[in-house]
Chains A and B, each alone.
Chain A
Amino acid sequence: MQYAATVHRDYHEEDGLVQEFLSFILGDEEYAIDILTVQEIRGYDPVTAIANAPAFIKGVINLRGTIVPIVDLRIKFGVGKVEYTAFTVVIILNIGARVMGIVVDSVSDVVSLAADAIHPTSDFSSQIGAGFLKGLGTVGERMLILLDIERMMHSRDMALVDSDDAE
Chain B
Amino acid sequence: MSIDMSQFYQVFFDEAAEHLGQIENLLVSIDLRHPDEEEINAVFRAAHSIKGSAATFGFSDMADITHVMESLLDEVRKGARALSADMVDACLVAGDILNAQLAAHRGEGAADTAPAAAIIARLGQLLKDGDSSAPVVEHASPPVTPVPPAVTPPAISSALQVGVFDVRFVPEPHVASQPELLDNMLDELGRLGGVEIVSRPAVDSDDPQWWLKITSMMPADTLREVLDFMAEPDSVDISPVGGEPTAGEHTAYGFFDPLPDALPQAVVEAPDEGGVEGVVVEEEAYGFFTDPLPPVVSHSAVSPDVAPAASARGGADTSIRVGVEKVDLMINLVGELVITQAMLLESAQGIDPVLHERLLAGFNQLQRNTRDLQETVMSVRMLPMSMVFSRFPRVVRDLSRKLGKQAELKLLGEHTELDKGLVERLADPLTHLVRNSLDHGIETPEKRRAAGKPETGTITLSASHQSGNIVIEVGDDGAGLDRVRILAKARENGLPAPDSLSDAEVWMLIFEAGFSTAEVVTEVSGRGVGMDVVRRNICAMGGRVDVQSIRGVGTRFTVRLPLTLAILDGMSVRVGGETYILPLGHVAESLQPTADMIHSLSGVPRLIRLRGRYVPVIELYREFGVADSCVDWTRGIMVVIDVDGSQAALFVDELLGQHQVVIKSLEANFRRIKGVSGATILGDGRVAMILDLPALASRARRLQCVAA
Q: Please name the residue on chain B nearest to A159 by beta carbon.
A: B671
Contacts of B673 in A (CB 8 A): 50-53
Q: In this assembly, does B666 line the interface, its C-beta being within 8 Å of a C-beta of chain A?
A: yes
Interface range, B side: 20 to 34
Q: In this assembly, does B669 line the interface, its C-beta being within 8 Å of a C-beta of chain A?
A: yes
Contacts of B672 in A (CB 8 A): 162
5 tightest A-B contacts by CB? A51-B624, A48-B687, A69-B670, A162-B671, A62-B681
23 contacts between A and B (CB under 8 A): A48-B578, A48-B679, A48-B689, A51-B623, A51-B625, A51-B674, A52-B625, A59-B687, A60-B666, A62-B681, A65-B335, A65-B336, A65-B339, A67-B665, A67-B668, A67-B669, A67-B670, A69-B669, A98-B669, A100-B670, A159-B671, A160-B671, A161-B671
Contact between chains at A67 and B686 (CB < 8 Å): no
Q: In this assembly, does B81 line the interface, its C-beta being within 8 Å of a C-beta of chain A?
A: no
Contacts of B668 in A (CB 8 A): 66-67, 98
Q: Per-residue CB proximity of A40-84 to B under 8 Å, as 1/0?
A: 000000111111110000011110011111000000000000000
Q: In this assembly, does A111 line the interface, its C-beta being within 8 Å of a C-beta of chain B?
A: no
Add 6 more A-B contacts to A51-B626, A66-B669 (CB < 8 A). A48-B679, A52-B625, A60-B679, A62-B687, A65-B339, A159-B671
Q: In this assembly, does B704 line the interface, its C-beta being within 8 Å of a C-beta of chain A?
A: no
Contacts of B689 in A (CB 8 A): 48, 50
Contacts of A62 in B (CB 8 A): 681, 685-687
Contacts of A99 in B (CB 8 A): 669
Contact between chains at B688 and A100 (CB < 8 Å): no
The distance from the CB of A53 to the nearest CB of chain B, in whole angstroms, is 8
Q: Per-residue CB proximity of B299-340 to A under 8 Å, as 1/0?
A: 000000000000000000000000000000000100110010
Q: A-contacting residues of B (Cβ < 8 Å)? A: 332, 335-336, 339, 578, 623-626, 664-676, 679, 681, 685-689
The distance from the CB of B653 to the nearest CB of chain A, in whole angstroms, is 15
Q: Per-residue CB proximity of A98-120 to B under 8 Å, as 1/0?
A: 11100000000000000000000
Question: Quick one: which of B336, B672, B681 has the most chain A CB within 10 A?
Answer: B681
Q: Please name the residue on chain B nearest to A95 by beta carbon.
A: B669
The distance in angstroms between the C-alpha atoms of A5 and B674, with both chains bound, is 39
Q: A60-B666, A65-B664, A67-B668 are in contact. Are A48 and B674 (CB under 8 A)?
A: no
Contacts of B578 in A (CB 8 A): 48-49
The distance in angstroms between the C-alpha atoms of A48 and B623, with both chains bound, is 16
The distance from the CB of B540 to the nearest CB of chain A, in whole angstroms, is 12
Number of chain A residues close to chain B: CB under 8 A: 25
The distance from the CB of B550 to the nearest CB of chain A, in whole angstroms, is 39
Contact between chains at A100 and B664 (CB < 8 Å): no
Contacts of A66 in B (CB 8 A): 664, 668-669
Contacts of A61 in B (CB 8 A): 687
Question: Quick one: which of A50, A61, A65, A67 has the most chain B CB within 10 A?
Answer: A67
Q: Please name the residue on chain A nearest to B336 by beta carbon.
A: A65
Contacts of B688 in A (CB 8 A): 48
Q: Please name the residue on chain A nearest to B673 by beta carbon.
A: A50
The distance in angstroms between the C-alpha atoms of A99 and B668, with both chains bound, is 8
The answer, among B339, B625, B669, B686, for a CB contact under 8 Å with A48, is B686
Contacts of A60 in B (CB 8 A): 666, 670, 679, 687
The distance in angstroms between the C-alpha atoms of A139 and B578, with both chains bound, is 45
The distance from the CB of A158 to the nearest CB of chain B, in whole angstroms, is 10
The distance from the CB of B309 to the nearest CB of chain A, in whole angstroms, is 45
The distance in angstroms between the C-alpha atoms of A47 and B336, with both chains bound, is 19
The distance in angstroms between the C-alpha atoms of A60 and B332, with both chains bound, is 19
Q: A65-B332, A66-B664, A67-B679 are in contact. Are A46 and B686 (CB under 8 A)?
A: yes
The answer, among B332, B664, B667, for a CB contact under 8 Å with A162, is B667
Q: Please name the residue on chain A nearest to B664 by beta carbon.
A: A67
The distance in angstroms between the C-alpha atoms of A129 and B435, with both chains bound, is 51
The distance in angstroms between the C-alpha atoms of A83 and B571, with both chains bound, is 34
Contacts of B339 in A (CB 8 A): 65
Q: Please name the residue on chain B nearest to A166 by beta carbon.
A: B671
Contacts of B336 in A (CB 8 A): 65
Contacts of A65 in B (CB 8 A): 332, 335-336, 339, 664, 681
Contacts of B665 in A (CB 8 A): 67
Contacts of A50 in B (CB 8 A): 673, 689
The distance in angstroms between the C-alpha atoms of A67 and B662, with both chains bound, is 12
The answer, among B671, B675, B679, for a CB contact under 8 Å with A51, is B675
The distance in angstroms between the C-alpha atoms of A65 and B662, with both chains bound, is 10
Question: Quick one: which of A49, A68, A161 has the most chain B CB within 10 A?
Answer: A49
The distance in angstroms between the C-alpha atoms of A62 and B335, with both chains bound, is 14
The distance from the CB of B460 to the nearest CB of chain A, in whole angstroms, is 37
Q: Please name the residue on chain A nearest to B689 by beta carbon.
A: A48
